[in-house]
Amino acid sequence: MKQIHLRVNEEIYNKIKNEVKIKKTTMQEYIIKTIGKDLTIKESPANYNVRPEKYKFKFIDLFAGIGGTRLGFESAGGKCVFTCEWDKYCQITYEKNFGDKPFGDIRLVDVKVIPPYDILVAGFPCQPFSLAGVSKKNSLGRPTGFLDKTQGTLFFEVARILKGYIDENTGETKKPKAFLLENVKNLVTHDKGRTFNIIKNTLNELGYKIFYKVIDAVDYVPQHRERIFIVGFNKEIYGKNIQFDFPEKPDIPEPTLKDILDDSVDAKYTLSDKLWNYLQEYAKKHKAKGNGFGYGLADINSHSRTLSARYHKDGSEILIPQKGKNPRKLTPRECARLMGFHDDFKIEVSNTQAYHQFGNSVVVPVIEAIAGQIVEVMDNERLNNNLRNNLQKVL
């Protein structure tokens, strides 16, 4: 990334400042976008390290978070050639673990400058569609789904990149062979299914055959966590009869919460008497009203509730019982394990940011399993094409 220092007179400065205020952006983003239009380019992606050295396919990682999806696709033999994530703290964690600082604003990404790749993966923002997100926005009288101007419409940025572009030299359409999108389960039912229908129709119109399924991560990690996964294949390459099956339940021992817990944990993770009393009274109040709201005291021989991005506030959805003491919160490292991250994954942000990041992340083993299925279909189709071509030569 190169830097340019500009000196402008007061009149130009005030005009830029006014435009930034109107467009609700930053000076840097406004200037990059404005200059980019004149030069018919946008900011170029960074050069990424070769990880791993040998790879079967290339992929790009959009709305990358801290890289859970990248880990899953690397395990399937992929090399990440471009990443986009605008949260500055997620960028820190991502760079610490992968050596790459993600591109920031997806709206400034020019599809023509993304390096050649095979698979697009994206966990586009889920707050406009999640049960918690919809409930909060409704209470504030704010729009949800595609009416949410700050996040909901970002799906169409993914669609813009999936659409690709026509190579001016060859006339060939440059677009990915396949994709994986991830979101909250509630996406399917949001706005009586209309939101999801828009997404499906958009992907179909772009020339992809799609498959989708809600998968509970409880078969992979000791956490009840349902997410929808949408897989698509380019019909120009694979035809409209391409078939895909999501992974079956893994043949592994049932994961339990005690498997991811540390033997010794700092006392600071134990709830104070004040907070523990508050959570108990809060639960009693809602139980009397017939509501199910309240803390979750976990069974360490089973699985936990869903880890959320708000876990840092009080840890109430997953509390670990302690003999003779108040229950405690999970540590950030335990949260990482609950999401399927190995212990060599670096956590160098504050506990508050770490909780937020893991609560928003994907479950890595689920991504690994789906990535493996996608790559298997692509490999099989490649082998079938080679066989057909060789047969034609013989005949």
For the stretch 90-123, pLDDT in tens is 999 999 999 999 998 888 999 999 999 999 999 8
Tokens 């060859």 belong to 170
Look at residue 85 and tell me whether its pLDDT is greater than 60.
yes
For the stretch 333-359, pLDDT in tens is 999 999 999 999 999 999 999 999 999
Which has the higher per-residue pLDDT, 144 or 365?
365
Confidence of residue 261 (pLDDT cuts 50, 70, 90): very high
Would you list the domain boundaries of the chain? 10-39, 57-250, 257-360
Average pLDDT, the chain: 83
- Do the two domains 57-250 and 257-360 of this chain adopt the same fold? no
Task: List the single range of 24-38, 62-76, 86-100, 143-157 with lowest mean pLDDT.
Answer: 143-157
Are the C-beta atoms of 194 and 200 separated by less than 8 Å? Answer: no
DSSP structural state of residue 302? S
Written as one letter, the residue type at 228 is: I
| Phi, psi angles (nearest 5°) of residue 298 | -75, 150
Active site residue 80: no
For the stretch 288-320, pLDDT in tens is 665 656 788 999 999 999 999 999 988 899 999
Q: How far apart are the first and last CA of the chain?
A: 54
Written as one letter, the residue type at 124 is: F
Quote the percentage of the chain above a pLDDT of 90: 56
Of 84, 90, 126, 335, which residue is the catalytic one? 126
CATH fold group of domain 57-250: Rossmann fold (3.40.50)
**What is the average per-residue pLDDT within 162-171?**
84
Range 257-360 has CATH code 3.90.950.20: no
Quote the pTM value. 0.79
Neighbouring CB atoms inside 10 A of 114's CB total 22
Sign of CA dihedral 274, 275, 281, 282: positive
Q: Looking at residue 80, what is its pLDDT?
A: 96
Q: Are strands 226-234 and 208-216 parallel, antiparallel or unpaired?
A: antiparallel
